[in-house]
């Protein structure tokens, strides 16, 4: 019961994580160039080739999770999903 006034006064940190995540920086629809300007080159890129397009997953060491890009043939790659949690790490 004593913690409630401390939380309300801002003296104890809240349980919510800080907004230094991928979702706070990257939004669906951004181009690959915009993401590179914002975060730099990815540390790891995985690519899957499918009919008339390919899908890329970009990982950055400073963030848990990854970015997924849809890359239609002849068009600019765009962010399709921002995955926050990486269960492998």
Task: Summarize pLDDT for 16-59 with one digit per residue, the tens.
Answer: 444 467 778 899 999 999 999 999 999 999 999 999 999 999 99
Q: Are 49 and 66 in contact (CB under 8 A)?
A: no
pLDDT digits (tens, 9 = 90+) for 74-89: 999 999 999 987 565 4
Here the CATH number for the domain that contains residue 24 is 3.30.1450
The total of structural domains in the chain comes to 1
Q: What is the domain range of residue 41?
A: 17-83
Residue 3, domain member (yes or no): no
* Beta strands per DSSP E along 35-75: 44-50, 53-59, 66-72
Residue 31: inside a domain, yes or no?
yes
Tell me if 12 is assigned to some domain. Answer: no
In a domain, 26, yes or no: yes
11, part of any domain: no
Neighbours of 3 (CB within 10 A): 9
Which residues sit opposite 44 in a β-bridge? 59
Rg of the chain over CA atoms, in angstroms?
Answer: 18
């Amino acid at each position: 019961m004593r913690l409630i006034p401390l939380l309300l006064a801002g003296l104890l940190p809240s349980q919510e994580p800080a907004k230094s995540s991928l979702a706070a920086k990257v939004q669906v629809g951004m181009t690959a160039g915009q993401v590179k300007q914002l975060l730099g080159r990815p540390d790891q890129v995985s690519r899957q080739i499918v009919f008339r397009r390919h899908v890329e997953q970009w990982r950055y060491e400073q963030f848990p999770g990854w970015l997924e890009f849809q890359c239609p043939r002849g068009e600019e790659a765009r962010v399709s999903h921002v995955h926050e949690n990486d269960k492998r790490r």
